[in-house]
Amino acid sequence: MGCDVLVIGGGATGLGVVRDAAMRGWSAVLVERVDLGQGTTGRFHGLLHSGGRYVVSDPRSATECAEENAILRRIAADAVEDTGGLFVTTPADDPAYADRFLAGCAEHGVAAEEVPVAEALRREPRLNPAISRAFEVADASIDSWTLLWGNARSAREHGARILPYHWVTGVLRDGDRVAGVTAQDNRGHREVRIEAGFTINAAGVWAGQLADMAGCPGVTVVPGKGIMIAMNHRLVGTVINRCELPGDGDILVPIHTVCVIGTTDVKAPTPDDLSIARDQVQEMLDAGEVLVPGFRESRALHAWSGSRPLFTDERADGAQDTRHMSRGLALVDHLERDGVEGFLTITGGKLTTYRLMAETVVDAMGEQLGDPRPCRTAAEPLPGSEDGRPYWLGSRLRRQEEVMPDDQLICECELMQRSRLEAAAASRPGLNLDDVRRVLRLGMGPCQGGFCTYRAAGVLHAIGDADGPRADELLLQFLHHRWLGIEPILAGRGMRQACIDDWIFQGALDVEHLPVTPPA
Amino acid sequence: MTRVAVIGAGLAGLVCALRLAQGGADVTVFSRGTGGLHLTPGMIDVLGYAPERVEAPGETLAGWVAARPEHPYAQLAGAPLEEALDWFRGVAAPLRYGGDLAANMLLPTAAGVARPTAMAPAGMAAGDLRGGRRVVAVGLRALKDFFPAYLADNLRRAALPGGAAVEARHAVATWSPRPGADVQGHYFARALDEPGARAGLAAELRAIVEPGETVLMPAVLGMRASAEAWEDLCERAGAPIAEVPTLPPCIPGMRLNLLLTRALGEAGGRMVVGPEAVGVDGSGGRIDAVRIRDAARVRAVPADHVVLATGGFESGGVELDSYGAVREPALGLPVAGPPGGGRGLGPRHLDEHPLMAAGVRVDDRLRPVDASGAPVWGNLRAAGSIIAGAVPWREKSGEGIAIAAGHRAACTILEDT
């Protein structure tokens, strides 16, 4: 297989890069070691930043966020819910920060307006009534998977090939030039060789490992692990931020039918460490109490962790040449830095700035190739967003009402129909139930897979996508993966649900004695 | 007349209340909801895995409780359990429960596992896989909770004693009680109470089934508390049919609930659904009244005896707070949490999670005890999955514990009066 541009990493950045390159007319291929959006992109809190969070601590990122926020509302409307955002000064916050915040917003292009406390409390009745100030900003929530699929579809329409479950095993070198990769196709169980004129490392928190493989050592991406907890209801309808310097548990994001509190920041030993420490769970719940009194009594639905790619360069020593932009977004030019041609690394950044990161690295590639071509991603909407209408909470229900008499509802919590599951399986044979979850939100609602898991395995078996042993494995694997995010936060009604689910799966179905070995 | 307040309307609470009413007590069941039987598949598990699959539950129980003095069966195995199951068999006669403590049946689950259970209604017992069987799993096109091909596929690979094998194929029937692609099980069940509907389904089954086959169908063959619809359908189809329970709500559990609540009413017992027990009044080690919260007030309901049958975590009978503490919310009884004092949760879903066995400890008369082993109240008993020490869905022991404890609690109250 050969191409002009090979992109490594199927997160938002990689998909943004492959779309951008394909739109500029280069033949492009993307490889992802597991499923698209299975890394940091699918493991965040769902916040489309207004920029307000960074106006004091990281003004450059603040401006980037503000600009990209406006662009994404246009090009990815389908993924964005216009919740609006509030920064509030709680009794636990330094009251002097609010004025620095307002000044920072004004200076760095982040729209913010003070609203009376009474008005903020009218809008958000559960908010801590002891807040002393409130500021309205353009925060929104964004579904990173919808964003990702939009980019993937658009990239394919422009001729790109996207290969999930392709694990890079080696980087090809042709003298001083990176010439592509070898990868293990974990679905086809074979090794593939992809030759590329140019290779872009968009592996996010794994970018240092990839640079090592390419013979460019010392690119250090520190996994800044954070945990997030989804609560069963939208305790707030607006994104709520603590008006203080960025800290732990200072953001509450309403997204889909839940709200998500985030997050912590702990240096993880490896990017693959997704463990959820109990003390961090307690810290998040305490933080939730500061924003919404009674938070602990609400039902926690699911917890997860993700690692931010925090870039440091051992070779740069503070020099500006290898890091073209602020600490948020890091472009590493391996020609300048390592004397290696045809290879660029883009890392750091935030979901909100994924498009800008893509534009930045593809621009740099064009420059190195002596073939600069203009970027069009800021103007051209993603498929599904052409009408510019943002996502709204009732959109799934509306679709369900249209098909109700003719279709079966497989996941009642997330309104997922059988026809949609069958279509997903037809377009991606061999998918697992976590893949289905990332596309169709299977099992993400209040019962956390209690009813839909058996049905989804049954449907995939019925249409011939999975044989008996595979269906068993899918079922057990999904239950186990759900457990990883449920166990750390088990309490109250969540505990009750978990036990009801155990009655269903172990009590009624006896799944622990299915004729397969439970997957590791 | 002795006044007894039973709190909770699951299997344990209903068994206890019915036995008490039959024994002449003045019984009222207080239940926050409609009870947990709607969620259960209607089999009577006694002990299915220990942890290997149990062939003879009666025999295995002796060794099981010797090794587990904290298990509910330590107070119930032997005569109390046997008497309770004999009593239950009589009470549940219209559903024709078969099976006993001598040997577990192996009944197919909707996922195609040969699952051990001690007793089951005749319609389910007909699917016993011991000794092997030829089956055709027949789904209903508009019912999404039953996948006949998946069931058949797994049954072919089921490990049966003595190397017996299941020959399995599958088919789908299109009969439906109403239009639409997504029809809930209870619509099928209610419709199949009528002979005309059964004739329609039977016509399809006759065309599907081959001689020597047992038809495995989702357990939606009639809603009434009797075996009549199932028997009639077998006759009309000209083939043995076995019901396989589906996802909740489970019709066989609903039938059993209907049977027990009706029998309770006929025996003079009362049910009050909605109010919540929030405490007790008492002195001198005895309860005088249960405090019941109605819509807007708390009132004291006088009682000579109280039975707590509020279930485990799944029913809200035991609660875990966000700091990790376990409590019994209705009466504030002492709770035995996971042994060793840790969280009691393992990293793998199918691990044993000791926290799940949390509950109240009881003495030999099923009275909740404190840390020193003394009864908290002389006239309070506990029954069912609120009793600490069991993880019923793993052990497949839930109904055995519920029936034995409910029955035993009633008998000890009747002895005391």
Give the pLDDT confidence score for residue A318 in this predicted structure: 45
A468–B157 CB contact, under 8 Å: yes
Give the pLDDT confidence score for residue A324 in this predicted structure: 38
Please state, in angstroms and rounded to a whole number, the distance separating the CA atoms of residues B31 and B248.
Answer: 20
Compute the nearest-CA separation of A427 from chain B (Å). 22
Q: Are B352 and B63 in contact (CB under 8 A)?
A: no
Give the pLDDT confidence score for residue A363 in this predicted structure: 98
Please state, in angstroms and rounded to a whole number, the distance separating the CA atoms of residues B70 and B390.
Answer: 9
Please state, in angstroms and rounded to a whole number, the distance separating the CA atoms of residues A460 and A416.
Answer: 14
Give the pLDDT confidence score for residue B338 in this predicted structure: 86
Give the pLDDT confidence score for residue A400 in this predicted structure: 80
Neighbour-count burial of B191, counting CB atoms closer than 10 A to its CB (0-12 exposed, 13-18 middle, 19+ buried): buried
Best CA proximity match to A511, nearest among A471, A467, A460, A462 = A471
Average pLDDT over residues B102-108: 98
Interface membership of B396 toward A (CB under 8 Å): yes
Q: Is the pLDDT of residue A321 over 50?
A: no
What length is written for chain A? Answer: 520
Please state, in angstroms and rounded to a whole number, the distance separating the CA atoms of residues A272 and A31.
Answer: 18
Q: Which residues contact A504 (CB under 8 A, 6 or more apart)?
A: A450, A451, A454, B39, B247, B248
Nearest to B181 among A406, A475, A514 (CB): A406
Nearest to A496 among B181, B248, B313 (CB): B313
Q: How confident is residue A326, by pLDDT bands cut at 50, 70 and 90?
A: very low
Share of chain A above pLDDT 70, in %: 96
Average pLDDT over residues B283-304: 95
The token duo for B406 is: 């409910």
Please state, in angstroms and rounded to a whole number, the distance separating the CA atoms of residues A72 and A352.
Answer: 8
Compute the nearest-CA separation of B45 from chain A (Å). 10
Interface membership of B176 toward A (CB under 8 Å): no
Give the pLDDT confidence score for residue A405 in this predicted structure: 78
A459–B158 CB contact, under 8 Å: no
Q: Are A322 and A337 in contact (CB under 8 A)?
A: yes
In chain B, residues with a C-beta closer than 8 Å to the C-beta of A455 are: 144-145, 147, 247
In chain B, residues with a C-beta closer than 8 Å to the C-beta of A498 are: 313
For A518, the closest chain B residue by CA position comes to B350
Please state, in angstroms and rounded to a whole number, the distance separating the CA atoms of residues B281 and A184.
Answer: 70
Report pLDDT digits (tens) over B310-368: 999 999 999 999 999 999 999 999 999 887 778 999 999 999 999 999 999 999 999 99
Nearest to B111 among A483, A492, A514 (CB): A514
Interface membership of B109 toward A (CB under 8 Å): yes
Q: Which residues contact A197 (CB under 8 A, 6 or more apart)?
A: A3, A4, A5, A342, A369
A468–B153 CB contact, under 8 Å: yes
Q: Is the pLDDT of residue A119 over 50?
A: yes
Cis amide prior to B28 (ω within 30 degrees): no
In a mutational test of the A interface, the residue from B150, B243, B310, B386 whose CB has the highest number of chain A CBs within 10 Å is: B150
A507–B41 CB contact, under 8 Å: yes
The residues pairing with B170 across neighbouring beta strands, listed in sequence order, are B137
Q: How confident is residue A517, by pLDDT bands cut at 50, 70 and 90?
A: low
Q: How confident is residue A143, by pLDDT bands cut at 50, 70 and 90?
A: very high
For A500, the closest chain B residue by CA position comes to B314
**Helix/strand/coil for B283:** strand
Angle between helices A59-75 and A97-107 (to 10 degrees): 60
B393–A502 CB contact, under 8 Å: yes
Give the pLDDT confidence score for residue A317 in this predicted structure: 44
Give the pLDDT confidence score for residue A519 in this predicted structure: 52
DSSP string, A429-498: TT--HHHHHHHH-TT-STTTTTTHHHHHHHHHHHTTSS-HHHHHHHHHHHHHHHHHHHGGG--HHHHHHH
Compute the nearest-CA separation of A518 from chain B (Å). 9
Compute the nearest-CA separation of A354 from chain B (Å). 34
Query: What ipTM was predicted for this assembly?
Result: 0.97
Q: Is the pLDDT of residue A312 over 90?
A: no
Q: How confident is residue A193, by pLDDT bands cut at 50, 70 and 90?
A: very high
Give the pLDDT confidence score for residue A102 in this predicted structure: 98
**Chain B from 60 to 89: CB within 8 A of any A CB:** none
Q: Which residues contact B297 (CB under 8 A, 6 or more apart)?
A: none
In chain B, residues with a C-beta closer than 8 Å to the C-beta of A410 are: 144
**Helix/strand/coil for B249:** coil
In chain A, residues with a C-beta closer than 8 Å to the C-beta of B41 are: 507-508
Nearest to A509 among B109, B157, B350 (CB): B109
Q: Is the pLDDT of residue B302 over 70?
A: yes
Q: A49-53, A297-301, A372-376, A513-517 — which is least confidently predicted?
A: A513-517
For A504, the closest chain B residue by CA position comes to B247
**Chain B from 289 to 318: CB within 8 A of any A CB:** 312-316
Q: How confident is residue B417, by pLDDT bands cut at 50, 70 and 90?
A: confident
A454–B247 CB contact, under 8 Å: yes
A451–B181 CB contact, under 8 Å: no
Best CA proximity match to B118, nearest among B96, B95, B100 = B100
Q: How far is CA A327 from CA A225, A226, A308, A312, in A?
A: 17, 18, 12, 9
| Other Cβ atoms closer than 10 A to A167 | 14
| Other Cβ atoms closer than 10 A to A157 | 12
In chain A, residues with a C-beta closer than 8 Å to the C-beta of B218 are: none
Give the pLDDT confidence score for residue B279 in this predicted structure: 96
A506–B320 CB contact, under 8 Å: no
The token duo for A307 is: 């690692």
Average pLDDT over residues A407-428: 94
For A479, the closest chain B residue by CA position comes to B349
In chain B, residues with a C-beta closer than 8 Å to the C-beta of A510 are: 109, 111, 113, 115, 396
The 8-class DSSP code of residue A503 comes to: I
Residue type, B16: C
Average pLDDT over residues A151-157: 98
Alpha helices in A246-327 (DSSP H): 278-291
The token duo for A54 is: 């960074």
Interface membership of B354 toward A (CB under 8 Å): no
Q: How confident is residue A518, by pLDDT bands cut at 50, 70 and 90?
A: low
Best CA proximity match to A376, nearest among A23, A4, A14 = A23
B345–A487 CB contact, under 8 Å: yes
Report pLDDT digits (tens) over A205-230: 999 999 999 999 999 898 999 999 99
Q: Are A218 and A29 in contact (CB under 8 A)?
A: no
Share of chain B above pLDDT 90, in %: 96
Q: Mean pLDDT for chain B?
A: 96
On the CB side of B323, CA atoms within 13 Å amount to 3
The residue to which tokens 């047992």 are assigned: B214
Best CA proximity match to B109, nearest among B162, B63, B65, B155 = B155
Report pLDDT digits (tens) over B46-89: 999 999 999 999 999 999 999 999 999 999 999 999 999 999 99
Q: Mean pLDDT for chain A?
A: 93
Nearest to B113 among A296, A490, A513 (CB): A513
Q: Are B262 and B18 in contact (CB under 8 A)?
A: no
In chain B, residues with a C-beta closer than 8 Å to the C-beta of A407 are: 181-182
Average pLDDT over residues A65-81: 97
Q: Is the pTM of this model over 0.90?
A: yes
| Angle at alpha carbon of residue A265, lines to A261 and A267, rounded to 5° | 150
The 8-class DSSP code of residue A295 comes to: G
The two beta strands, A239-242 and B305-308, are: unpaired
Interface membership of B319 toward A (CB under 8 Å): yes
Share of chain B above pLDDT 70, in %: 100
Compute the nearest-CA separation of B386 from chain A (Å). 13
Q: Is the pLDDT of residue A62 over 70?
A: yes
Give the pLDDT confidence score for residue A314 in this predicted structure: 64
Report pLDDT digits (tens) over B164-214: 999 999 999 999 999 999 999 999 999 999 999 999 999 999 999 999 999
DSSP string, A137-183: E--EEE-HHHHHHHHHHHHHHTT-EEETTEEEEEEEEETTEEEEEEE
Report pLDDT digits (tens) over A285-297: 999 999 999 999 9
A285–B322 CB contact, under 8 Å: yes
Give the pLDDT confidence score for residue B74 in this predicted structure: 96
Strands (E), A314-438: 329-333, 343-348, 409-411, 416-417
Give the pLDDT confidence score for residue B340 in this predicted structure: 74
For B349, the closest chain A residue by CA position comes to A480
**Helix/strand/coil for B119:** strand
Average pLDDT over residues A170-182: 97
Give the pLDDT confidence score for residue B265 in this predicted structure: 98
Compute the nearest-CA separation of A437 from chain B (Å). 18
Nearest to B115 among A458, A479, A510 (CB): A510
Best CA proximity match to A408, nearest among A375, A452, A370 = A452
**Helix/strand/coil for A296:** helix
Compute the nearest-CA separation of A486 from chain B (Å). 10
Average pLDDT over residues B255-265: 98
